[in-house]
Amino acid sequence: MRTALPSGRLLVAAAVAALLVGGRAYADDGDRGEPAPRRPDASWREIFGGPFQTSRLFSMPTADVVGAYQISLSGDASLLAKNDTLSTSSVVALGFGDIAQLEYRSAAAITTLQPDPFGMPTVGVQLKVPLRPRRYVPSFAVALRFGFTHTDKVGAVTHDERATDFYLVSRLRLWGALERVTLHGGLRVSAAQIDSTGEPMLDGVRRNLPLPAGGIEVRVTDDAIIAAELAEVPLFDPGDATRPSEIRSGLFGRAGIRWHLLPEVVFDASFGYRLEIGRAGAQAGSMFDALVDWDMRLGGEIFVPWGAMVCKAAGIFCE
């Protein structure tokens, strides 16, 4: 079995360090513009005219939250159909006061029992640190997510895997000639566990994993960006009659485009590769040649300004 590439953590740590040391940059909160008007006389065009703020790249969260009185619904699907493969970037976020959101998120994780990353379901809250926007000063957010159980069954043994995360993430938009470039960095501390039942009896495993992440986005046009992310994620290795269960970290990368078809509708197309594990039996040098080792996805995000819609329809939640 292949283990994590030793250079992976260094690559991610370098991306985070580059963000945190800063450069000639400014926080771009002021670019967000006015939110959807919550007035009974507002037109539907005004209500759905945006701007709308996402809280993720692909699977990586960012230091932003969706706006007050808004809901964001997002997800994706693999172009390579496989059994038991879940989205790695599904998010349902409900914004409060422009500094907080309640969310359901399928946080990325890996198991040695299937070739692709899967979504570890979590619920939690994300808070944006209310710093005054300034040049050279990144934006920050913190999140706490409680994990649901993901179950794998091997023979007569059932493995219940779960992870609860604390996340610190930062965003920095560059300045001058690089003003279309935004850097993202963060640290996910994951309390991961495997509990097993059945025969043979296996001991449970619990580990606290520090998992750095980094990302970059480049705005190509007003409606489209190119984005890439690189992150360590929990890697669950359920045991069997010959060996115990184990939890460690693995490296996963993703890159693609995000395109605003409408102000409230975003289209995603991305591909990723799990750098820490090749397919079982893959020969040295051939792991990048196996198409099944690549993860290609299409998806999107829809923003619903529910407060403005209810105000127009029923006269409540108005400004």
Cα separation, 160 vs 163, whole angstroms: 10
Judge whether 1 lies within some domain: no
pLDDT of residue 191 exceeding 50: yes
Output the pTM of the full model: 0.80
Which range marks the domain in which residue 125 is found?
Answer: 8-314
Nearest to 34 by CA among 265, 314, 305: 305
Task: Identify whether 92 is part of a domain.
Answer: yes
In a domain, 179, yes or no: yes
Q: What CATH number should be reported for the domain holding residue 78?
A: 2.40.230
Of 90, 84, 19, the closest CA to residue 301 belongs to 90
Residue 234 included in any domain: yes
Q: Which residue has the higher pLDDT, 168 or 273?
A: 168
Instruction: For 115-140, write each residue's pLDDT tens digit.
Output: 667 778 899 999 999 888 787 889 99
Q: Is the dihedral of CA 200, 203, 208, 210 positive or negative?
A: negative
The count of structural domains within the chain is: 1
Is 218 domain-assigned? yes
Q: Is residue 116 part of a domain?
A: yes
Least confident segment among 78-82, 241-245, 312-316: 78-82
The answer to whether residue 287 scores a pLDDT higher than 50 is no
Residue 2 lies in a domain: no
Flag whether 319 is in a domain: no
